[in-house]
Structure formats: C-alpha cells, structure tokens
Amino acid sequence: LYEPMEDPGDYLEPQKHIESKPVPVKPEDSKPVPTSRLPPKPKKKPEKRQPYENSHPLSDEKEPPVLPPPPPPNKESEGSGEVKCTESKTPCSFCIEEKSIQDIVHVLSLLRLNKYAERFQEEMVDGEILAGLSVEDLQSEFGFSKLEALRLYRYIEKGHVPK
C-alpha cells in the first residue's frame, strides 16, 4: 500500500505513481513546502510588557541601565573661577592643569592673592606648572606665608575657594 520514501532533501520530486489533477495555487497559499516531517511551530503572541515603573519589584524584568548625568560644559562657572574636566580619568573632577596664565591670575584675585599675580605672569605660571608646586615651593620661591600657600594649594587640589 505505502512504499518507504527516500529522504527528499530540499527538493521534492512529484511522485509518478500518483495520478491526480493539479490543484491551482492561489498567491496566498504559496508558502514554502516544509522539508521536515515535524509540525510547524506555533506563532508566539507578543508579550505586553509593563513599563519599569509599574513592574513588580520581584519580577525577572531587568531594570533600565543607570547612566551617569552628562558632564557640565567645559567653561568657567559663575563666580568661582573653577573649570571642570570633561576628559579626566575621574569624571567631573577639578583640573588645574587646563588653566592658562590668565586663568591663574584670575584665581589669585579670587583668593585675594593679587600681590603675586604680576610675578606669576613674569614666570609664566600656568595650571600645569602650578600643579607641580608644593606649599614649600610657594613659600620659598614666591614668598607666600604659610596660610596663603595653603589657600592656593587647596585650590590646586580641589578647586576650593573660601566662602
């Protein structure tokens, strides 16, 4: 009655011993012929996901990634004379190295150290050079008092301006 068939592969040849009328194919019925004998997989219904705010805290849904806030623009902030680094290893940290000679002169006036401004300009002390100076260097090379040197050094370290 039935004869065993060979594995048809990708192409099925029509059986010669079957005599039947060809069935016209409609465009909507022109689906690829399955090559395996397994039943087709049922279509998955799209899941309705709840927004993160409404999801249950014990659910398996992943929380949205927490992104750090964008860094502030790289310009002088109002009144403080500080510049925030946007390219440093620690985001939004104070970078004295980026300051120009004129920026340092402005900082000296903010810290009420105007009497040293002319000497800093003569010696071409910019942020990079200032970052390499210690409290002792400021005292011995520029004649700072210990308190004045400490005030400038705190600015060099963290951008601190006394209030």
112-128, pLDDT tens digit by residue? Answer: 999 999 999 999 999 99
Please tell me which residue, 42 or 70, carries the higher pLDDT value: 42
- The predicted-structure confidence for 31-48, as pLDDT tens digits, reads as follows 565 565 666 676 766 666
User: 7: number of CA atoms within 13 Å, CB side?
Assistant: 3
- Global confidence as pTM: 0.44
3-state secondary structure of 146: helix
Q: Is residue 70 scored above 60 in pLDDT?
A: no
Q: Determine contact, residues 76/110, Cβ cutoff 8 Å.
A: no
| Res 137: pLDDT | 94
- Cα separations in angstroms, 39 against 18, 34, 35, 42, 55: 24, 9, 11, 9, 36
- What are the structural domains, with CATH classification, of the chain? 96-158 (1.10.150.50)
